[in-house]
Structure 1
């Protein structure tokens, strides 16, 4: 999935542990085959290929995943949208951009974006993208989904405890072999090599969206790689968002959505959702958190 996965399991002995890890790797590869928009043989690629042409019958697993992405789009007012990949890639964060895109270019690139144009037919189990050239991709939810499914598989194989870490989107179950809780370190926004708080996570997941890795600068202003699918412009006002919830899939999607929604709308949404918490660092490196997170605010 273009990401590093680290898999930790607690097992009776090393041999069983490695068998479990091999099973986990096989499950991650299976999901990649399903959701990769780069693999021309995947169901996702087939949906994209038939955009504006005809509905595509898909497996129940993919259908349900797309159904859930549309629900997240609705509760986040479109800040999360798997059709964002229909944008014509006018923002580039590989060092090749020399000018800001024009308003017209941005408007044009947005023409095929819109989760409302992903038509699902539950009777036929089909997915149809209304416009030619429309595309969906699971970049903002796929790693979390893979982490959840891999955990589910290992739990079904009686693996008592472990961590699936998909490049920072991680899910845990059970405890360390010593009986201690798994701890996650929250990085200091001013120096991501330093930890300012350790939080125990029990049967839980966490995902982080941050702007410190990919961005471009124009006229002294920083534009991050996280684009708001509603405007076509990079998000402003937030440096990082960490979401805590039972489901890694939900954490993954909401971390992106809250980053885009901004501090006030994002915190308000999370405070209304049961069993979900957030730590948000704004562009002045001030830390904000939802009502269920208890720790001292000063890094």
Structure 2
């Protein structure tokens, strides 16, 4: 994606509608778009397409998400990935080629992000409960023991044998930060192969955008992380690309004035600091998924630098003071947030 292909429209906030994506008005001759939604991979997955192809498109997209979930979920005991995790410290486990390739992709992204993206983060699961009635901050020694199990560089992949080995019991691979992006890439390719070129697929905080909506770019709202769910401060006009946002405002609790959120730094075992939200725009949905998390963890200066060094990637980060930082292709956005608190 050329850096010039991202068109930015700035919107000043005054009670505008709360949507992650913004509906284009229906003009004369514009086909009617409809949205179909299903709950897959513990998230609402939505497909927006022209009405005549909605049923076909939904069947294609949802079947792909179900297939990815059946192979790559770390929570379902029957998946090949769960077998890798059960075998930690004992033996290498065979995995399908698609899963092997995605694990290798995750390891490569880990290297380029200084370990901010780490597919072995899942050893931290259970330390933090952001949905509890009275959430607690785990003790330092408990966090320290879990962090010792997190290190993507220790994962052993044998391509010739088609196996993956975790050398220490208690290590766990979790692909929650990359699998939805992978499913989006697969789904987009499948739709285009069937001649469906105008679509939007939404998976939690990420979207894949194909073609246009009635001849106009898709308009994606950038949420104010300290506003209400109805607040956004800008829109991105996009076509044939993916956009992914991670933020500290979805699952969190506050203790003694400190916000603890669900995006954990795998190097410390604690919530990342310094960035309220990170948005990544790139044609590669798998990369967008992983990078939006990694940039939250890397911080503003390093995060913008890492994103700018990646060909075809644009990024927007909002820091703890509410200031907006972007790569060059998104430089038209405002530099200060309207809600600094």
Normalised TM-score (structure 2): 0.83
| TM-aligned CA distance change 1:115 to 1:96, over 3 Å | farther
Residue pair 1:171, 1:247 contacting (<8 A) in 2 also: no
Partner of 2:42: 2
Pick the aligned partner of 1:22 from 45, 56, 59: 59
The answer to whether the 8 Å contact 2:279/2:292 transfers is yes
1:190 matches 2:226: yes
- The 2-side partners of 1:281 and 1:112 are apart by 31
Return the alpha-carbon distance in structure 1 between the equivalents of residues 135 and 48 of structure 2: 43
Q: 1:246 matched to which residue of 2? A: 283
Unaligned runs of 5+ in 1: none
Q: How many residues align?
A: 295
Query: 2-side partners of 1:7 and 1:98: how far apart?
Result: 35
Deviation at 1:88, TM superposition (A): 5.3
- Counterparts of 1:296 and 1:148, CA distance in 2: 27
Q: Tell me what 1:205 maps to.
A: 242
Please report how far the alpha carbon of residue 90 of structure 1 lies from its aligned counterpart in structure 2 after TM superposition: 1.8
TM-score by length of 1: 0.94
Residues 276/88 of structure 1: CA separation in 2 closer, same or farther (3 Å cut): closer
Specify the alignment match of 2:187 in structure 1.
150
Counterpart selection for 2:131 from 60, 82, 94: 94
Specify which of 104, 111, 127 is matched with residue 74 of structure 1. Answer: 111
Q: Which of residues 262, 269, 280 in structure 2 aligns to 1:232?
A: 269
Deviates more, 1:97-106 or 1:246-255: 97-106
Distance in 2, matches of 1:247 and 1:160, equals 16
Distance 1:96 1:228 in 2: 24
1:49 maps to 86
Map Cα deviations across residues 172-203 of structure 1 (whole Å, 9 max, x no partner). 11112x21111111122332412221211121
Counterpart position of 1:64: 101
Distance 1:17 1:128 in 2: 42
- Where structure 2 has 5 or more consecutive residues not aligned to the other structure, the ranges are 1-40
Residue 91 of structure 1 contacts residue 97 of structure 1 at CA under 8 Å; is this kept in 2? Answer: no
Say whether residues 1:270 and 2:307 are aligned partners: yes
Shift of 1:59: 1.1
Task: Report the Cα distance in structure 1 between the residues aligned to 2:135 and 2:244, rounded to whole angstroms.
Answer: 32
Quick check: 2:129–2:135 contact (8 Å CA) kept in 1? no
* 2:47/2:57 contact within 8 Å kept: no
Q: CA deviation at 1:98?
A: 5.3
- Residue number in structure 2 paired with 1:119: 156
1:50-96 per-residue CA deviation (whole Å, 9 max, x = no partner) reads: 11111111111111000000000000111101111112522221235
Once the two structures are superposed, residues 106-148 of structure 1 have per-residue CA deviations (whole angstroms, 9 ceiling, x without a partner) of: 1112121110121001111111111112111111111111111
After TM superposition, the structure 1 = structure 2 runs for residues 104-143 of structure 1, keeping only pairs within 5 Å, are 104-143=141-180
CA distance in 2, matches of 1:17, 1:61: 27
Cα displacement string for residues 144-173 of structure 1 (whole angstroms, at most 9, x for unaligned residues): 111111111111111121111101201111
> Alignment RMSD, CA only?
1.5
